[in-house]
Amino acid sequence: MTAALLIGPAGSAAPEGEWHMAAKNHANTRYSALDQITIENAGRLQPAWTFSTGLVRGHEAAPLVVGGTMYVVTPYPNILYALDLARNGALKWKYEPKPTPSSQGVACCDVVNRGAAYFDGKIIYNTLDAHTVAVDAKSGREVWKTKVGDINRGESITMAPLVAKGKVLVGNSGGEFGVRGWVKALDAGSGSVAWTAYNTGPDRDVLIGPEFQPFYESDRGEDLGVKTWPPEAWRIGGGTVWGWISYDPELDLLYHGTGNPGPWNPEQRPGDNKWTAGVFARRPDTGAARWFYQWSPHDLYDYDGINENILVDLEWEGKPRKVILHPERNGYIYVLDRATGEVLAADPYAYITTTTKIDLSTGRPVHVEAKKPKLGEVVRDIAPAAPGAKDWQPAAYSPRTGLLYLPHQNLRMDQEVMEANYIAGTPFVGAEVRMYAGPGGHRGEFEAWDPIARREVWQIKEQFPVWSGTVVTAGDVAFYGTMDGWFKAVNARSGEILWEFKCGSGIIGQPITYLGPDQRQYVAVLSGVGGWAGAVVAGQLDPRDGTGALGFVNAMKDLPHHTARGGMLYVFRLP
């Protein structure tokens, strides 16, 4: 195997100096070709301007930059701000969608929002109460607003939409509330729903038809979305789409992950629980499924499957190959053929006690029997813990270095499962969890991974989970933030920390870089601790209750001593 040949399909006509979607491009690379900020000068970065959102819940969004305007989406109540880049972020306008207040009660892991997308003169994003809105980018006027889910059933939306071929792709959250997962395509012009694909249930609902050709035998058969569940359990089985969506215009395929099955107690749902905890390839025009691969059949640990699918073209075993790079919550980095769904490689990048390997002949994980949950028993030293080795926080890929840059956590957990009862709109979990630090005592890591050599190149250990996203540039600089508030620039080749700045609150946002009206390169990130990992601060939870935030509080009880609630956009540049 040799080094990476080239970056995957960009799929975006956006100027390189702008940022039109949360993931930068349809390939989800989060790579910028801007190179004014380099390894040599990054240490001279300084604040250019700031903007306060006035909110104190988790700020996970990536700002957008279109022309001379930056757009920022806040956590609930999901205000959209337009900021004038020619006037150091002066407010142009704000749009307030006024989501239903009760939607906050069905947000399992803070009232976050992961960003917006720009398309055809509109800023398009989702609100917590399961609406998708389109706003005129110049005036802030609402163009359309579509209800896509029902908070009374426990559905909410936290994901950033993706626009491909004039379709707005959105998916629901609520896997801990017994909802049924789906992805929908809306017409970008009108907001009307073009198609809906469910991730559990009969083939007609999942949009599985003649074109469906999964690579592995265990994914072939009629109505597996029903037959791999106890009777009727698929109706409340999860499989939500709250993570990232990619698009390859050459293959004309969308790629989206599916979330955990519900409830967490696996004894209540014997079977593979299709089509949860996996990845679908679908046609954007119709939603028709092309293939599916399941990262975690019969998911035992809330490992989900919604992490980003990064599309790159590699020379693999001497031949050019279109692949997906996917750092999964189960602790393995996968290389998949994105035309077929075949697993080419799956290697551990974190501490794992739950499985011994991924069997490439079947695509299935080989489980450790002693770590399987058992009703009424506490199973200890389960690793990765329920957030996985890496949760939603997105990685980045550089075609210059051929490396994947991974922000992730180092956590394990003790878990006891029990019977869960379903009541619409209420938690449907069936597990009590306490998380704690993994080997070494640190809880976070930022590392570079070589997908060709299939090994870690370098690693930075952090006190807390690295819950922010990352971006990497043509200046060979990678950026990420920490939960205790440090924003860092790193040498993408060596891992040397080049610069760091202490922000007012912990960072769980997604950094971006752009070219300002003055033709200088800027870097921007939202500071505002929260999300699942930071709930102990953002939600002001009692740190003595180790089961709080589905067990995450036990691992983060000291976070309130290191950071405070906040909501601030920071923008940096060279002097």
pLDDT per residue over 248-278, tens digit each?
A: 999 999 999 999 999 999 999 999 999 999 9
Average pLDDT of span 379-393 = 97
The distance from CA 68 to its chain's CA centroid, rounded to whole angstroms, is 27
Q: Which of 513, 420, 531, 521 is nearest to 63 (CA)?
A: 513
pLDDT digits (tens, 9 = 90+) for 416-452: 999 999 999 999 999 999 999 999 999 999 999 999 9
* The predicted structure's pLDDT at residue 509: 98
Following DSSP, what letter does each residue of 369-383 receive, concatenated?
GGGS--BT-EEEEES
> Is 126 a known active-site residue?
no
Beta bridge partners of 291: 281
Q: How confident is the model at residue 211 (pLDDT cuts 50, 70, 90)?
A: very high
Contact 26, 337 (CB under 8 A): no
* The predicted structure's pLDDT at residue 14: 87
Q: How confident is the model at residue 10 (pLDDT cuts 50, 70, 90)?
A: very low
Beta bridge partners of 162: 169
How far is it, in rounded angstroms, from Cα 153 to Cα 238? 12
The distance from CA 327 to its chain's CA centroid, rounded to whole angstroms, is 11
Contact 106, 151 (CB under 8 A): yes
Q: Which of 468, 364, 450, 467 is nearest to 410 (CA)?
A: 467
Average pLDDT of span 525-536 = 97
Contact 366, 356 (CB under 8 A): yes
Residue 519 neighbours by CB under 8 Å, 6+ apart: none
Q: How confident is the model at residue 47 (pLDDT cuts 50, 70, 90)?
A: very high
Q: Which of 360, 373, 451 is nearest to 415 (CA)?
A: 373
How far is it, in rounded angstroms, from Cα 357 to Cα 347? 8
**Annotated catalytic residue within 260, 273, 307, 330:** 260
Residue 77 DSSP label: T
Angle of CA points 243, 135, 180, to nearest 5° = 30
350 has pLDDT over 50:
yes
How far is it, in rounded angstroms, from Cα 573 to Cα 575? 6
Q: Percent of the chain at pLDDT above 90? A: 97
> Is 176 a known active-site residue?
yes
* The predicted structure's pLDDT at residue 348: 98
Following DSSP, what letter does each residue of 32-43 receive, concatenated?
E---SS-TTTGG
Average pLDDT of span 504-515 = 98
How far is it, in rounded angstroms, from Cα 128 to Cα 143? 19
How far is it, in rounded angstroms, from Cα 130 to Cα 158? 9
Contact 482, 409 (CB under 8 A): no
Average pLDDT of span 204-232 = 98
Average pLDDT of span 146-154 = 97
CATH annotation of 4-573: 2.140.10.10
* The predicted structure's pLDDT at residue 6: 37
> Is 260 a known active-site residue?
yes
For the chain, give every domain's residue range: 4-573
7 has pLDDT over 50:
no
State whether residue 342 is helix, strand or coil: coil
238 has pLDDT over 60:
yes
pLDDT digits (tens, 9 = 90+) for 60-110: 999 999 999 999 999 999 999 999 999 999 999 999 999 999 999 999 889
Contact 396, 426 (CB under 8 A): no
pLDDT digits (tens, 9 = 90+) for 126-147: 999 999 999 999 999 999 999 9
**Annotated catalytic residue within 302, 414, 445, 462:** 302
Instruction: Give the position of tokens 């040799």.
Output: 2
Q: How confident is the model at residue 8 (pLDDT cuts 50, 70, 90)?
A: very low
How far is it, in rounded angstroms, from Cα 128 to Cα 101? 9
How far is it, in rounded angstroms, from Cα 430 to Cα 484? 31
Residue type, 374: K
Instruction: Give the position of tokens 């142009």.
Output: 92
Q: Counting every residue, how long is the chain?
A: 575
* The predicted structure's pLDDT at residue 4: 39
**Annotated catalytic residue within 129, 176, 328, 445:** 176
* The predicted structure's pLDDT at residue 109: 87
Which H or E run includes 252?
Answer: none
476 has pLDDT over 90:
yes
Q: How confident is the model at residue 5 (pLDDT cuts 50, 70, 90)?
A: very low
Three-state SS string over 270-297 comes to CCCCCCCCEEEEECCCCCCEEEEEECCC
194 has pLDDT over 50:
yes
* The predicted structure's pLDDT at residue 13: 66
